[in-house]
Amino acid sequence: MATKPRGRCGISRVIPVTQAPGMLRWCVFWLWQKRMRLRCFAWGMAVVLVYLCLESQGDHPASAQQNPTRPETGAPRSVKVIRVAQVPMERAVTAFGSLAAYDQATVSVKVPGRLRSISVDLGSVVRQGQVIAQIETQDYQLRIQQATAALAQARARLGLAPDQNHDRLDPERTSTFRQARAVLDESQANQERIKTLFEQGIIPQAQVGTAEASYKVALSRYEDAIEEVRNRQALLAQRSSELELARQQLADTTIYAPFEGAIQERRASMGEYLGAGAPVATIVRMDPLRLRADVSERDAPSIRVGQHVRVMLEGDGNVYTGRIARLSPAITQQNRTLMVEAEVRNKGTLRPGSFARAEIVIDDQNLALAVPANAISTFAGVEKVLLVQDGKVSEKTITTKRRTAEWVEVVSGIKVGDVVVINPGNLQSGQAVTVME
């Protein structure tokens, strides 16, 4: 007989030696089952504890959501307030458009020739009258010499000195005219003498006819001489004009900037032969700029020339100012809008072609119910203010419209005379407050 000692379970049994191996297996199996039961119990307790923790943590948000306006306990908070009133607020019409250069010109050559030099490129800033390109001048200098020689020849045919002014030329002082005049005077005197001798019976009738014919020929040559002198005067004026034209062509070989601006595009290169009218560069005037915007037909009657305009650009936090300068005389039928143009001053940051949003101020003295911008709190897109009533604050949902740097127009939710908290912070509805003067 063998005696099994007392185990942890407090059971003492006498086991025969022959049954020891079987009982040993049974004890091992019982201990294994007990260990599994303890492990399952431990896991179950852990799950219960986790659940209880989660439930305890979830109670606080739920209660906060159920009582979002629960007032805080403690002494009343001091707040600054303002009484709602009507303040002057401008009325503005919003329009969308784009900026354009005030002036844009494609500078071209007036005379053909090879481009000798060009001093500008993309983005170059130019002044009015600045030289931007030069055509070769040798051909035009030769034309001036040719025109000068032709003019000297025309002056010589009229008997003019090189420095004599031909504008006051008297045709009767030219050699051609004086010669024709002398022949005419001689023929007239001879005719009168022949008539006298014929009346005295000294010469026959035939000589009288010959003298009259000679006088008519001399008179015709005199008239031809006058026409010739006038023709030579016209030729002299033509040669003078040709000389001026040659000089002008020489001057046109230099290309100038027509106004102050910047080079938008360079369209020619040095050494290139350019015909008359060939483009060299495109210049745009950068200050001021034109704002071209479309105003809806509903707002068109309130737009006037001279109204103030605020211009905002995408990605630019600055606000630019201008004034309405021009209005289209008709409404565009395709989109039922009115085209307006405003002049906007440019300090170097604006670029033609930019998309712009414009606010056209149509009335800057309009009264509106407004509150300061720092009195409005926004949550999930809903705008609210806190009103002070009977020493406590109450939350009011409002609807806003126009905004300025300091004021926000309120169209519903409050009325004139209501006391609104400025900078409410974390104040809650129902909380006691004291008003600071």
Q: pLDDT (tens digit, 9 = 90+) per residue, 356-388?
A: 999 898 877 777 788 888 888 888 888 888 888
Residue 36's Cα: distance from chain center in Å?
82
Query: Greatest CA span in the chain, whole angstroms?
Result: 214
Q: Which of 97, 99, 98 is nearest to 345 (CA)?
A: 99
How far is the C-alpha of 21 from the C-alpha of 8, rounded, in Å?
20
DSSP annotation of 432? B
92: how many CB neighbours lie within 10 A of its CB?
21
| Token pair in block for residue 258 | 């027509």
Q: What is the pLDDT of residues 312-350, one digit of tens each?
A: 998 888 889 999 999 999 998 888 999 999 999 988 888
Q: What is the pLDDT of residues 38-94, one digit of tens each?
A: 666 666 677 667 666 655 554 443 333 444 444 445 578 888 888 888 787 777 888
| Token pair in block for residue 31 | 């201990």
Q: What three-state secondary structure class fits 127?
A: coil
| Residue 229 pLDDT level (bands cut at 50, 70, 90) | confident
How far is the C-alpha of 292 from the C-alpha of 357, rounded, in Å?
10
Residue 58 vs residue 108, higher pLDDT: 108
Q: Are 311 and 318 in contact (CB under 8 A)?
A: no
| Token pair in block for residue 400 | 């806003």
In this prediction, residue 406 carries a pLDDT of 79
Q: Is the pTM of this model over 0.75?
A: no
| Token pair in block for residue 319 | 């606000």
Collect all residues with Cβ–Cβ distance below 8 Å to 319 and sequence separation of at least 6.
310, 311, 312
Q: Is 11 a residue whose pLDDT tops 50?
A: no
Distances, alpha carbon 308 to alpha carbons 98, 100, 138, 364, 389, in Å: 17, 18, 55, 9, 41
The proportion of the chain whose per-residue pLDDT surpasses 90, expressed as a percent, equals 32
Q: Is 251 a residue whose pLDDT tops 90?
A: yes
Tell me the backbone φ, ψ of residue 277, rounded to 5 degrees: 90, 0
Q: Is 96 a residue whose pLDDT tops 60?
A: yes
